[in-house]
Chains A and B, each alone.
Chain A
Amino acid sequence: MAQTNSNPGSSGANSQSGGVTRRSFLRTSAVALSGIAAIAAALEPLRDINDPITLQRFFQKHYKELTPAEMEKVLARIAAEVEKQYQLRPQIKDYKPMDGVEFVYCLNLTRCIGCRKCVHACVAENNQSRNPEIQYIRVLKMPHGSLNPEEGEHNYKSEMVPEKGFFYMPVACQQCRNSACSKVCPVKATWQEPDGITVIDYDWCIGCRYCEAACPYFARRFNWTKPKIPKERLNPNMSYLGNRPRMQGVMEKCHWCIQRTRAGKFPACHAVCPAGARKFGNILDPNSEVSQILRTKKVFIQLKEETGNNPRFYYYFDV
């Protein structure tokens, strides 16, 4: 390769000192050719790109700058891409937040039995990659007496739950009011919506993972490669900011099932919980269940309160 580099220079010098000789011309060409071949060989793996970057995708604007007409086009593009890949026509919409709604989640630690049904319902609802596996909810098996997550066990494989001497603490995105993730994002690809849900524009994220480093709850997940979902498992009811299939190299996380909750339904984890440990609702409505819980329970906590992220996710006890 050194020779490649040497040549334009020496031929230039030659021409200055009076003409290119036949020999030096041949040498230049041979070396230039092998240089090009070496670079081509270096670039060869690019042929394996499994998700070609089209112009439409490359130039797509930030979510907040798309006009309704442009959003229609984007949704049509995504629908076509999903159909091409999964042979299934999705119902994809851009669900908007409802007026006068701010969501809050309350989780009853006395009731949670650690069955992890929420984890799997979440994966099924939100089209997470099955290989490599991405899950939004982490259930910690905690010894009695401590709320320090470092005491918890992540990969417990109990035959039966709950086990004596332990309680279980599911942790996912806490939808913080003072969210570290959206503050650190260099390109505003993640932000808080008016209804309190922190969302990600998967088409805008550059994949720097600064938000993942900033999150005190280990709530964010990165697509280390192209996500794989079996065709028959795809949930065709999709939203732009929610559960549409993600692409390689972008962040994702829990969004409180935006495609369900903005249509008046409960999140999938809430709906599946057999213990009734999960409560979800509108904090701005004084008659909602979550308002009542936060009004009447003597003790409820925000995880890692000291970091000042001020979560919209509360843990409470039956006392």
Chain B
Amino acid sequence: MIRGIRNYFTFLSRCARIAFIGDWRYYSWMGALTVFVLLGLNAWCKQFAHGLITTGMSDQVSWGVYISNFTFIVGVAAAAAMLVIPVYIYDNEELHDLVIFGELLAVAAILMCLAFVTVDLGRPDRFWHLIPGIGKFNFPHSMLAWDVIVLNGYLLLNVHICGYLLYSRYSGRKPAKWFYIPFVFVAIVWAVSIHTVTAFLYVGLGGRHFWNSAIVGPRFLASAFTAGPALIILALQVIRRVAAYRITDKALLTLRAIVQVSMLINVFLLLNEVFKEFYGKSKNISSSTYLFFGLEGHHALVPWIWTAVTFNLIAMFLLILPLTRSLRFLNLACVLAIVGIWIEKGMGLVVPGFIPTPLGEIVEYSPSFNETLICLGIWAFGFLAYTIFLRMSVPILQGRLSRQAEDVPLDEVALGTARSPEPLV
């Protein structure tokens, strides 16, 4: 028992220490990210001291880039399910060893989500009011209360699955199925729930016609299952290049098929919404009009949304064509899809919901410099977290960082100079 605990702590400390070791490329990357994290932290401290007046938000547009990014990244987190489903339900061999990278991405994404929500709070010092049992939790009425539960639950599920699988691999033991498989299946349903609940956050507001639409939930899922796996396609190639980890093109093309279908559904649903909004010419289309065409001389979002639509359409056509079996075009399609959906699910969804106000006033929004710095800081924080997770997990999965090789200095493990023992699992 005591030895087990000691072993576990050795594992944790070796993982923690290896995160600080790497070659010059690793240090420059981490150094640059740290600079942005600190700039963001500094900007957040300013906001904390002076209030959210340091942002571009107003009583008219009371949510901005924080909640926009939050919404997009919840989708990225949910997309881990798109790696899990092929492996655990359809026994896909190619993706088997890659699932964990998707789950780790989910962990990093949820950490970013929590950060984005925290910086949006006017009173972050009162966060404990949100803790069930200690604070005063408005469950089940408030969708935000649901979101707190599903996001933190999803974080715990993924931390458990990744942590357990990695520790088993490190210890050279075969993971006990009962101790993680049930959680994997719960996590699949849970992944859908995090994005559905986040959609319901908006859908539930009867006074905002732009959001109060049944198609918002399905559109959230379709776009998440496009942008998320697209991001994973790019991330896997980076891992393959930097860490010399075995990732086959076939695995990437499996993901391509997922992105392809999701993008088609995504664009189809968008079309549905556009038709419903504009064909009938009801009185409730002011927000959509503002978004796509501008309203009474105000059109800050028009170039953005058309960029998003264009990117999504180009990405869709590229994905349909056999052209994207070549990685270069696949990557292009992925980048276009990610940027397009980031605009559409972020600023394109959150901001027009507030314009015009329920009383018909038009006040536009653009983020302040300080607000932008905070966003960049959180993105850098997310990349930093994901890089650290990979720094720990890749040597473990490659069998270089293991209990068996506990005596090998971490420098050699990290830089790959140590001879890897034969993996046991």
Indicate, yes or no, whether A interacts with B.
yes
Q: Are A206 and B358 in contact (CB under 8 A)?
A: no
B278 to chain A, nearest CB (A): 17
B279 close to A (CB within 8 Å): no
A52 to chain B, nearest CB (A): 10
Given A38-B38, A224-B51: A204 and B129 interface contact (C-beta under 8 Å):
yes
Of the candidates B49, B51, B283, B410, the one whose C-beta lies within 8 Å of that of A223 is: B51
Q: Are A186 and B205 in contact (CB under 8 A)?
A: no
Across-interface contacts of A208 in B (CB, < 8 A): 117, 120-122, 144
Instruction: Choose, from B19-27, B166-174, B240-248, the stretch at the interface.
Output: B19-27
Q: Are B354 and A186 in contact (CB under 8 A)?
A: no
Q: Are B62 and A213 in contact (CB under 8 A)?
A: yes
Instruction: Choose, from B84-92, B104-112, B131-139, B302-310, the stretch at the interface.
Output: B131-139
Given A152-B360, A207-B122: A186 and B144 interface contact (C-beta under 8 Å):
yes
**Interface residues in B, total, Cβ within 8 A:** 70
A273 to chain B, nearest CB (A): 20
- Among B191-214, those with CB < 8 Å from A are 201, 204-208
B330 to chain A, nearest CB (A): 32
A8 close to B (CB within 8 Å): yes
- Among A189-227, those with CB < 8 Å from B are 189, 204-210, 212-218, 220-226
Of the candidates B20, B45, B142, B353, the one whose C-beta lies within 8 Å of that of A5 is: B20
Q: Are B208 and A213 in contact (CB under 8 A)?
A: yes
A132 close to B (CB within 8 Å): yes
Across-interface contacts of B39 in A (CB, < 8 A): 42
Shortest Cβ distance from B131 into A: residue? A187
A148 close to B (CB within 8 Å): yes
Q: Are B20 and A154 in contact (CB under 8 A)?
A: no
Of the candidates A17, A213, A218, the one whose C-beta lies within 8 Å of that of B353 is: A213
Instruction: Choose, from B28-36, B94-102, B256-264, the stretch at the interface.
Output: B28-36
Across-interface contacts of A184 in B (CB, < 8 A): 141-144, 204-205
Contact with A along B53-72 (1 / 0, CB 8 A): 10001111011000000000
Across-interface contacts of A209 in B (CB, < 8 A): 62-63, 120, 122
Of the candidates B42, B50, B117, B201, the one whose C-beta lies within 8 Å of that of A42 is: B42
- Report the separation of the CA atoms of residues A204 and B136 in the bound assembly, to the nearest whole angstrom: 9
Across-interface contacts of A3 in B (CB, < 8 A): 27, 31
Across-interface contacts of A44 in B (CB, < 8 A): 42, 45
- Among A118-165, those with CB < 8 Å from B are 132, 138, 140, 148-152, 154
- Report the separation of the CA atoms of residues A287 and B21 in the bound assembly, to the nearest whole angstrom: 81
Task: Name, among A65, A154, A186, A204, the residue most crowded by chain B CB atoms within 10 Å (CB to CB).
Answer: A186
A293 to chain B, nearest CB (A): 24
A97 close to B (CB within 8 Å): no
Of the candidates A2, A187, A214, the one whose C-beta lies within 8 Å of that of B30 is: A2
Q: Are A10 and B411 in contact (CB under 8 A)?
A: yes
Q: Are B205 and A13 in contact (CB under 8 A)?
A: no
A282 close to B (CB within 8 Å): no
- Report the separation of the CA atoms of residues A225 and B123 in the bound assembly, to the nearest whole angstrom: 11
Q: Are A207 and B121 in contact (CB under 8 A)?
A: yes
Q: Are A307 and B207 in contact (CB under 8 A)?
A: yes
Across-interface contacts of B21 in A (CB, < 8 A): 6, 9-10, 13
Q: Are A140 and B125 in contact (CB under 8 A)?
A: no
A284 close to B (CB within 8 Å): no
- Report the separation of the CA atoms of residues A285 and B19 in the bound assembly, to the nearest whole angstrom: 71
Of the candidates B124, B130, B143, B359, the one whose C-beta lies within 8 Å of that of A218 is: B359
A319 close to B (CB within 8 Å): no
- Report the separation of the CA atoms of residues A189 and B129 in the bound assembly, to the nearest whole angstrom: 9
Contact with A along B143-163 (1 / 0, CB 8 A): 111001000000000000000
A53 close to B (CB within 8 Å): yes
Of the candidates B38, B51, B59, the one whose C-beta lies within 8 Å of that of A1 is: B38
Shortest Cβ distance from A210 into B: residue? B144
Q: Are B206 and A307 in contact (CB under 8 A)?
A: yes
Q: Are A171 and B122 in contact (CB under 8 A)?
A: no
B309 to chain A, nearest CB (A): 25
A36 to chain B, nearest CB (A): 12
B52 close to A (CB within 8 Å): yes
Shortest Cβ distance from A132 into B: residue? B53
- Report the separation of the CA atoms of residues A6 and B391 in the bound assembly, to the nearest whole angstrom: 13
B33 to chain A, nearest CB (A): 9
Across-interface contacts of A183 in B (CB, < 8 A): 141-142
Across-interface contacts of B58 in A (CB, < 8 A): 224
Task: Name, among B20, B30, B58, the residue most crowded by chain A CB atoms within 10 Å (CB to CB).
Answer: B20
A318 close to B (CB within 8 Å): no
Across-interface contacts of A132 in B (CB, < 8 A): 53
Across-interface contacts of A210 in B (CB, < 8 A): 142, 144, 201
A312 to chain B, nearest CB (A): 17
- Report the separation of the CA atoms of residues A225 and B57 in the bound assembly, to the nearest whole angstrom: 12
- Report the separation of the CA atoms of residues A251 and B62 in the bound assembly, to the nearest whole angstrom: 11
B357 close to A (CB within 8 Å): yes
Across-interface contacts of B423 in A (CB, < 8 A): none
Q: Are B59 and A221 in contact (CB under 8 A)?
A: yes
A169 to chain B, nearest CB (A): 9
B48 close to A (CB within 8 Å): yes
Across-interface contacts of B127 in A (CB, < 8 A): 206
Q: Are A49 and B49 in contact (CB under 8 A)?
A: yes
- Report the separation of the CA atoms of residues A309 and B212 in the bound assembly, to the nearest whole angstrom: 15
Given A208-B120, A214-B207: A225 and B53 interface contact (C-beta under 8 Å):
yes
- Report the separation of the CA atoms of residues A267 and B30 in the bound assembly, to the nearest whole angstrom: 59
Q: Are B122 and A17 in contact (CB under 8 A)?
A: no
Across-interface contacts of A217 in B (CB, < 8 A): 207, 358-359
Binding site for B on A (CB under 8 A): 1-10, 12-13, 16-17, 38-39, 41-50, 53, 58, 62, 65, 132, 138, 140, 148-152, 154, 171, 180, 183-189, 204-210, 212-218, 220-226, 248-251, 304, 307-309
Binding site for A on B (CB under 8 A): 17-22, 27-28, 30-31, 34-35, 38-39, 41-42, 45-46, 48-53, 57-60, 62-63, 117, 120-127, 129-130, 135-138, 141-145, 148, 201, 204-208, 283, 286, 353-354, 356-361, 409-411
Known: A16-B409, A152-B360, A206-B122. 13 other contacts (CB 8 A): A5-B30, A12-B17, A58-B126, A62-B129, A150-B283, A152-B359, A187-B136, A189-B129, A204-B129, A208-B121, A222-B59, A308-B206, A309-B206
| Interchain residue pairs with CB less than 8 A apart (10) | A2-B34, A7-B20, A9-B17, A16-B410, A39-B38, A189-B129, A214-B204, A214-B205, A216-B358, A226-B51
